[in-house]
Amino acid sequence: MSKLYENRELSWLRFNERVLEESEDERTPLCERLSFLSIFQSNLDEFFMVRVGSIHDQMLLEENHTENKTHMTDSEQLEAIRERVKVLSKRKDASFDKLMGELEKHEITLINFAKLDAKEGEYLKQYFEREIMPLLSPNIVSKKQPFPFIKNNDICAMALLESGKSKNSKTGKSSKTTKTSIGIVPCNTGMFKRLIEIPGRKGHYMLAEELILHFLPIVFHGYNILGKSLIRVTRNADIDADKVYDEELNYRDHMAEVIKQRRRLQPVRIEYTRDIDKKTMATVVSYLHIDMEMIFKVSSPLDLSFLFEIQDNLRHNEELFYNKRIPQRSPDFDEKLPLLPQIIEKDKLLHYPYESIRPFLNMLSEAANDPDVVSIKMTLYRLAKHSKVVEALVEAAENGKQVDVLVELKARFDEENNIEWSRQLEQAGCHVIYGLDGLKVHSKLCLITMKKEGGVKYVTQIGTGNYNEKTARLYTDLCLMTANEKIGAEAARVFQALSLGEVMESTECLLVAPKCLQNKVIDKIEREIQIARDGGDGYVGIKINSLTDKLIIDKLIEASKAGVKIDMVIRGISCLHPGVKGETDNIRIISIVGRYLEHSRIYIFGKGEREEMYIASADFMTRNTVRRVEVAAPIYDEELKTRLRNFFNTQLKDNVKARYSDCNGDYKYVEHTEPAINAQEVFFEDAYRAVSNPLPEES
């Protein structure tokens, strides 16, 4: 493995380890640590569904395929993933046990049958027979009954069954058989609650799947239970919608069929909770067509989503949660006055979740009713379930505006949601486009066109995050609103290209993937290299979620060797090792994992008068730079540039939630020196102070 590069999948596992660390960090309030533990698990589930699934698919296409940085083969990657996941799973189990121990101090306990008295056991037996058993669909695998289909990430109770005594029809004598079979009972029916409170023991709970597992002898009466366990199957979810395109269907119906196909894709992982006969497990593995190496034993519950219900039961204990923080109004807007004229007068920037998304939503609503507005064009990737963005677009269409909306139906795991929104938009009279062949449209771009006496006027919004009111309270993102004529005209060209099923071949001010972002970023780094070689102060500052694009990585290595100073804030994957002597000495990489999901992207090239600054929807991943439509927008306003520069520098100073990457790709907490700086808390303090509001704990 090259000393300069890190494998993408292993780097992602390092990121999820940092999420797990938050569940172990005693500085984090108890109930928030429960969230991080559940997020760690759901992250890992998606990793297997998408990334491990992708590697499995690649192995079917090319026997000796290697990835392009560390040159690991697919089988080598899977082996390394398995070993790392085993280590992380043990840490997850240990974190769960510790958290449950701490919850007991607050009168919350997850109980098992060994801790129940006879009366309680009898109550649960009656509860099971009355409330749960009638809703179960048990299966016994045999020659007549095939192995049942197990849904993705559903929990099942599994048992090795031995048939009981039977009578010989000729002699009438009883005889024991040694015939064994496998019993399967799906536990995720959705028809009964999962967290069951023990009567008379407030705060003492049992999980429904544990109840089902315990009472399997009732379910499979007439059989001896030789062994039993809970299992969970994770299926491949990596399906290429374009490769399986069905020309007989319209694109929206095709995507609905793709979703159905995904539900039945090949298993890539099995988890189980109890030791069970190896032969039985081998039989299950053969039925599911999965390798024995992809089986993992865990001691904690197979699905930790119930922890959010426990959180809800503890809401009255404020000390168990983060201090309350509410997105503040932006001091740059006077919300009592029309917003579009304010944007025309001066560029505006919103910083979520520290500032509210409300000015952007109000701007859309205002545009829907402004007689000067003739059209609204927008790209939509992920939306809230009750989207005010869609409401504004529908209102605009109903008011006679031309509304063009590109809805990306290939937004993984949001396809169904987007299909429904696309129907509603069409019904309201919006012109809906469904993306491009072979490319996802991931840009966050909105263009409002007004017809004034002096001609056409544009107001353009470019963001780093989705148009989603819910995630705007949880993710850190940036939203630029500008009336700059060059940006508006180029945004209009982007939408024209999208409507024709084309991509931008050239740009002047915007960076637009797939053809005008990667190359322009490399050119800007090259400029800094030349400045450093000429004895100048070359500088690159980058804030992104992931770094995997090898062309950009290699250019950053070249820049480091030339003396360019490079600061990078990368939340997740980084396939580059900083601090390697003689190679990446001038590169510093930190990752911030904290209360809010770091999601904003900022590119900075140069310092002083030649400094160029962009906000973008694109990470430096090949999928973003050459396989998606992405947009990065320049920041021209000097006040906004100063604000972004201060924001970036504050993150570089974080010594509470920041970890730095060493030359081996390992992450360690930044040494804590006084004063402690938690960048996310600093930004909220600034947001409250800007509108003269005291923080909740200060009021």
- Catalytic residues, by residue number, are 442
- Which ranges in 370-481 belong to alpha helices (H)? 388-398, 415-427
451, 401 contact by CB (below 8 A) = no
Name residue, tokens 């539900």.
Answer: 263
Hey, what are 17's tokens?
Answer: 């380890």
163, 181 contact by CB (below 8 A) = yes
List Cβ neighbours of 416 (8 Å cut-off, separation of 6 or more).
256, 259
Q: What is the CA radius of gyration of the chain?
A: 28
CA–CA dist 455, 80 (Å, integer): 61
- Strands (E) across 38-154 are located at 109-110, 139-141
Find, among 523, 481, 488, the residue nearest to 509 by Cα: 488
Our measurement of the distance from residue 345's CA atom to the centroid of its chain's CA atoms, rounded to an integer in Å, reads 37
Return the H-helix or E-strand segment holding 562: helix 550-562
CA–CA dist 78, 498 (Å, integer): 38
Q: How far apart are the first and last CA of the chain?
A: 55
Three-state secondary structure call for residue 142? coil
SS (H, E, C) 605-669: ECCHHHCEEEEECCCECHHHHCCEEEEEEECCCHHHHHHHHHHHHHHHHCCCCEEEECCCCCEEE
Give buried/exposed letters for 123-149 (b at 16+ CB in 10 A, else e). Answer: ebeebbeeebbeebebbbbeeeeeebe
10, 81 contact by CB (below 8 A) = yes
Q: Which amino acid is at 464?
A: T
CA–CA dist 380, 537 (Å, integer): 40
DSSP state of 286: H
In the chain, what are the helix, strand and coil shares in percent, each to the nearest 5? Answer: 40, 25, 40
Pairing of strands 597-598, 587-592: unpaired
CA–CA dist 678, 658 (Å, integer): 8
The phi and psi torsions of 110 (rounded to 5 degrees) equal: -95, 115
343, 637 contact by CB (below 8 A) = no
Find, among 386, 384, 330, the residue nearest to 358 by Cα: 330
Hey, what are 619's tokens?
Answer: 């990470």
CA–CA dist 377, 375 (Å, integer): 7
CA–CA dist 59, 522 (Å, integer): 32
Residue 71: CB atoms within 10 Å? 12
The phi and psi torsions of 238 (rounded to 5 degrees) equal: -90, 90
